[in-house]
Structure 1
Amino acid sequence: MSNQKKTISDKDNLKVIYEDNHIIVVNKRAGDIVQGDRTGDKPLSNVVKEYIAEKYNKPGNVYLGVVHRLDRPTTGIVLFAKTSKALPRLNKLFAEKKANKTYWALVKNQPPKTEDTLVNWLKKNPKNNKSTAYKKEIENSKKAILSYKIIKALDNFYLLSIDLETGRHHQIRAQLSNIGCPIKGDLKYGFDRSNKDGSISLHARTLEFIHPVKKESIFIEAPLPKDPLWDACS
């Protein structure tokens, strides 16, 4: 069975990489959905609630706020708020682009430049859940900006570090595909074959932000997926 259809069935599989009274950070696996959708598959948010309920022996409903999301085949950092005090502050932080996120991606084709800033206008097609990148603004498109740099050349792939200035639907996937560098395993955006586990080789690697309550700087790094190619990147 592809991991695209597999969900967390056991809270013991949850990979918590940071937790305190107000926030919890999880290293998401490929195939897990962050929030419920029309598939009806069990979302990561529910699994985190179960984990909190058992760990702290909490009766009744557990509070959990979803701060941001990752695409289903993507791995890496997902941040949740454990208190109603933290959630609006984190939402404001992300809205004001004061949370610094870095992604790692594996691509087969060498990018045109060692490092560059890509500026496109993305238009989402809800019928196939895909975004197309355009050089100029068109009707119903949104401006998308990201910066990438090659941080390692492997035997057959290039490891890119990516920083987002905007947060658009499938932005990294669409913009890299647009320069001829689809992400490994990403059939939707032009890679020639899928990964065996249904993932794409895109990982939310680091997150840096000011804690919503403690007001101290928090830096989080998510371990890479267990895979020979990712192992070569570390």
Structure 2
Amino acid sequence: MRTSGEPGMTILYEDNHLLGIEKPVNVPTQEDASGDPDLLNLLKADIKERYGKPGNVYLGLVHRLDRPVGGAMIFAKTSKAASRLSDAVRTRGFEKGYVAVVRGIPAQASGTLTDTLLKDEKTNTVRVVKKGTPGGRDAKLDYRVLGTSVQDNLSLVQIRLHTGRSHQIRVQFSHLGCPLYGDQKYGAALNKPGEQIALWSLYVGFPHPVSKEMIDLVSLPPRLYPWNLWEDRLYRGVGEACKSGGMAGEM
């Protein structure tokens, strides 16, 4: 099912408490300085139209994706659901799995990246700093290389976050020497203007805020370059691994 209006979005899950969608790329999650249509308000308008709701529509923002990033997202349709999902995020009961295409081939096929990140609010950029730097926040993620293209000098990696810092994946892989394909902010030396950043929210999993049933949302990246260097079945396998709480290849 798709939402009404433009841009139309694929609905991954919906009930009286939750709305799970596939976020389109280059749409801000919430209103920002650009003034461009944002996901939160687009979805509120869609709910209002589809259900003929009068007055203001409630929709709670539980997590965020950077503007150029697409994929699975969940929103809360009630304040109670928003509160319980926010608790799940804080207590790490909210799982997020990503895939990304990075420049080069990481020296290790799998590993854990642990860094301290410092955000510059004025420039909206993040950099790796020494541990103990005032304002620095610890960032940790696990990754596994799923495939490589020697000809294109690109690697497909699966990522599982332990922390949710701003621009975390982009900064940590740039620091590793393998910036994300298309990332102009943290990989300008290797990427060309106009390339779409290759980072995708493939999986979101959490206990339903009311029934406690496990909800698994899976969104596959588009069949466009560089994603189409690898087959859909590989991405589906990653989604299944995420449902089991693991990384692809660990099952």
Specify if TM > 0.5: yes
Counterpart AA for 1:103: Y
Distance 1:231 1:195, change over 3 A: farther
Superposed CA deviations along residues 4-33 of structure 1, whole A, max 9, x for unmatched, are: xxxx99346122211111101111111101
Distance 1:72 1:9, change over 3 A: farther
SS at match of 1:118: strand
Superposed CA deviations along residues 74-126 of structure 1, whole A, max 9, x for unmatched, are: 11112100112211000100111111111000012111200010110000112
Q: Is the 8 A contact 1:121 1:136 kept in 2?
A: yes
Residue 114 of structure 1 pairs with residue 139 of structure 2: no
Q: Percent identity?
A: 39
Which position in structure 2 is the counterpart of 1:128? 123
Q: 1:63 aligns with which of 58, 68, 74?
A: 58
Q: TM-score, normalised by structure 1?
A: 0.91
Which position in structure 1 is the counterpart of 2:228? 231
Q: How does 1:78-227 map to 2 (within 5 A)?
A: 78-154=73-149, 155-156=151-152, 157-191=154-188, 192-194=190-192, 196=194, 199-227=196-224
Superposed CA deviations along residues 171-210 of structure 1, whole A, max 9, x for unmatched, are: 00000000101000001102422463x5310001101110
Q: Is the 8 A contact 1:11 1:51 kept in 2?
A: no
Report the Cα distance in structure 1 between the residues aligned to 2:214 and 2:159, rounded to whole angstroms: 21
Which position in structure 2 is the counterpart of 1:3? none
Q: Which moved more, 1:26-35 or 1:151-160?
A: 151-160
Report the Cα distance in structure 1 between the residues aligned to 2:4 and 2:104, rounded to whole angstroms: 36
Report the Cα distance in structure 2 between the residues aligned to 1:195 and 1:17, rounded to whole angstroms: 32
Q: TM-score, normalised by structure 2?
A: 0.85
Report the Cα distance in structure 1 between the residues aligned to 2:73 and 2:141, rounded to whole angstroms: 20
Report the Cα distance in structure 2 between the residues aligned to 1:232 and 1:187, rounded to whole angstroms: 21
Unaligned runs of 5+ in 1: 1-7
Superposed CA deviations along residues 144-188 of structure 1, whole A, max 9, x for unmatched, are: 111111011234211000011111111000000001010000011
Report the Cα distance in structure 1 between the residues aligned to 2:58 and 2:131, rounded to whole angstroms: 43
Number of equivalent positions = 226
Counterpart AA for 1:24: L
Greater RCO, CA 8 A, separation 6+: 1
SS at match of 1:85: helix
Which position in structure 2 is the counterpart of 1:4? none
Q: Is the 8 A contact 1:209 1:217 kept in 2?
A: yes
Counterpart AA for 1:17: L
Counterpart AA for 1:207: V
SS at match of 1:209: strand
Unaligned runs of 5+ in 2: 233-251
RMSD: 1.8
Q: Is the 8 A contact 2:28 2:39 kept in 1?
A: yes
Residue 20 of structure 1 pairs with residue 15 of structure 2: yes
Report the Cα distance in structure 2 between the residues aligned to 1:67 and 1:185, rounded to whole angstroms: 27
Q: Is the 8 A contact 1:121 1:134 kept in 2?
A: yes
Report the Cα distance in structure 2 between the residues aligned to 1:67 and 1:124, rounded to whole angstroms: 21
Counterpart AA for 1:120: D
Report the Cα distance in structure 2 between the residues aligned to 1:165 and 1:135, rounded to whole angstroms: 19
Which position in structure 1 is the counterpart of 2:29? 34
Counterpart AA for 1:230: W
Q: Is the 8 A contact 2:203 2:216 kept in 1?
A: yes
